[in-house]
Amino acid sequence: MIKTDVVIIGAGPTGLFCAHQLGIIGLKCEIVDNLDKIGGQCIELYPDKPIYDIPAVPKCTGEELTNNLIEQIKPFNFNFHLSDRVQELKNENNKWLVKTLNGKEFETPNIVIAGGVGSFEPRKFPTKSAEKYDGKSVLYSIKDKTIFKDKSVVIFGGGDSALDWAIELSNSSKVTLVHRRDEFRGAPASVQKIKELSDNNTIDLITKYSIKDVKGNGSLESVEIKSESGESKVIKADYVLGFFGLIMQLGPIAEWGLNLDKKTIPVNTENFETNKKGIFAIGDICTYPGKLKLILSGFHEGALAARGCFKYARPDEKYRFEFTTASSTIKDRLGVKE
Amino acid sequence: MAKIKYIEFNGTEHEADVANGLSVMEGAIQNDIPGIDADCGGGMSCATCHVYISDDEWFRKLPEKEMGEDDMLDQAFEPKSNSRLSCQLIVSDDLDGLTVHMPEKQV
């Protein structure tokens, strides 16, 4: 059990800057994120796209913004818990007991939800029948490629993950690559390689088809695919892999008894607390009159939520407002030597 | 201004007057029309504002897809050849009378 002042859910720009503000006022925090890297949407959706509306930064990419924020909170040595997801919250004696999917436990008076539009999950096949085999022979990511040796593998998708795995697995498996159109969005070199492998019959390439059904009797036997005009084909399959990118799901956040407005959490604008005492929401996931889904709004929200957290983390102390330019206490916390 | 008709997967029809310059996606969101999620807010990075343009003539009349829209549509729920991302359809008088059909779901 890790005891801390605040658990932040989400390591996007908003969560990172909130951590900075917590560090500045002398609080500790632990940061949990479902992705395997820090940066949230900035790093997952648009690492290379320039952002033009960060105050005093005329232009930076999602990756640059993330790296600068990481640099900014370095002095505080906060822990990150990546590839993990907060699953359960329980309130005991005014403390929140937090459990993650990987079995980590935290005890904290404050939780800051900076979860964007939820956690990133692989987009799955629309076919109901695929659910039965989910995680066994219908997969959306690969942990151990040796299981595919000498098996028939049908891969769906047209991006880099689909192409790279089709190329890689073609060495030791019977690979069929199925994509809904003739063009691929993967890297040109991979597309070229796929065409070569298809021309010399190393892989079967089928375009303008999508999944219709998966069939089996206990274990997966085949996958049926359909064209838009209604033709269908059945392909023998031991494994079916789908690579359709990631979607954002609210996930367990919806189960915590928080007021919800569509996929967002209403908060007050004084400290960004939700209807639950000690649970705050900031960034894209929170809503209030006039809410703008901008990174700069998330920074402001994080700064105020941090002060809200102070009240519960240090109930016997009075919060004193200080400037980073003037406060020697803050400079100590930042490890600045003058 | 254009009158846009949004038809949910279950057949429920909604009509909205959408101002020029807004996207067809924004027209749905601002009028509380269900069936379009628009998780990313119009950045062409999530494929949850996916619609079908069932009328061939309308599909051809719409501005062509820009680079990246088809890539995003690869990730949509049941994309077809008449699929579009509604965040990329910018409303003008020319779009008056457009009908879009929503897919069964967005994710």
pLDDT over 90, % of chain A: 88
A291 dihedral zone (left: phi>0; alpha: psi -120 to 50; beta)? beta
Cβ distance A152 to A204 under 8 Å? Answer: no
Q: What's B95's domain CATH number?
A: 3.10.20.30
A319 in contact with chain B, both atoms CB, cutoff 8 A: no
Instruction: Give the total number of structural domains in chain B.
Output: 1
Q: How far apart are CA B10 and CA B35, in angstroms?
A: 10
Task: Indicate whether A68 pLDDT > 80.
Answer: yes
Which residues of A fall within a CB distance of 8 Å from B74?
157-159, 179-181, 185, 244-245
Q: What is the pLDDT at residue A77?
A: 97
In total, chain A counts a number of residues equal to 338
Angstroms from B106 CA to nearest CA on chain A: 10
Q: Is B107 part of a structural domain of the chain?
A: no
CA distance B3 to B29: 15
> Would you state the pLDDT for residue B107?
80
Contact A25, A306 (CB under 8 A): yes
* pTM of the shown model: 0.74
Q: Looking at the predicted structure, is the pLDDT value of residue A8 above 90?
A: yes
Average pLDDT over residues A110-126: 90
Asked if pLDDT for residue A338 goes beyond 80, the answer is no
Given a cut of 50, the residues of chain B with pLDDT beneath it are none
Q: Is residue B41 part of a domain?
A: yes
B18 and B24 Cβ atoms separated by less than 8 Å: yes
Is residue A246 predicted with pLDDT exceeding 90?
Answer: no
What is d(CA A14, CA A37) in angstroms, rounded to the nearest whole number? 15
Mean pLDDT across the stretch A100-110?
Answer: 97
CB–CB contact A245 B75 (8 Å) = yes
**What integer best gives the mean pLDDT of chain A?**
95
Contact list in A for residue B71 (CB cut-off 8 A) is 158-159, 185
pLDDT on residue A49:
83
Closest residue in B to A243 (Cα–Cα) = B75
Phi and psi angles of residue A54, each rounded to the nearest 5 degrees, phi first: -90, 125
Which of B45, B70, B78 faces A181 most closely, judged by CB atoms? B70
Record: contact A228-B45, CB cut-off 8 A: no
Which B positions 11-50 lie with beta carbon below 8 A of chain A? 37, 39-41, 43, 45-48
Over residues A200-224, mean pLDDT: 95
pLDDT above 80 (res A303): yes
Asked if residue B10 belongs to a domain, the reply is: yes
CB A76 within 8 A of CB A19: yes
The architecture of the domain spanning A124-244 is: 3-Layer(bba) Sandwich (3.50)
Q: What is the pLDDT of residue B39?
A: 82
B48 to chain A nearest CA, in Å?
9
d(CA A1, CA A104): 7
The residue ranges of every structural domain in chain A are 2-121+247-334, 124-244
Which residues are CB-neighbours of A182 under 8 A, at least 6 positions away?
Answer: A207, A208
In a domain, residue B60? The reply is: yes
pLDDT, position A48: 83
Write down the CATH number for the domain with range A2-121+247-334: 3.50.50.60
CA distance B38 to B40: 6
Confidence class for position A16, pLDDT limits 50, 70, 90? very high
**Do A124-244 and A2-121+247-334 have the same topology in CATH?**
yes
Structural domain includes residue B106: no
Residue burial A160-194, b: 16+ Cβ < 10 Å; e: rest? ebbbbbbbebbeebbbbbbbbbeebbbeeebbebb
pLDDT tens digits along A138-168 = 999 888 999 999 999 999 999 999 999 999 9
Would you state the pLDDT for residue B33? 95
For residue B78, the enclosing domain spans 2-101
User: Count of CB atoms within 10 A of residue A31's CB?
Assistant: 23
Cβ pair A157:B77 closer than 8 A: no
The tens digit of pLDDT for each residue in A30-47 reads 999 999 999 998 988 778
Mean pLDDT of A188-197: 96
Q: What is the pLDDT of residue A118?
A: 84
Residues A101 and B105: their CA atoms lie apart, in Å, by 27
What is the per-residue pLDDT for B50?
97
Which pLDDT does position B54 carry in this prediction? 95
Tell whether the model's pLDDT for residue A192 goes beyond 90. Answer: yes
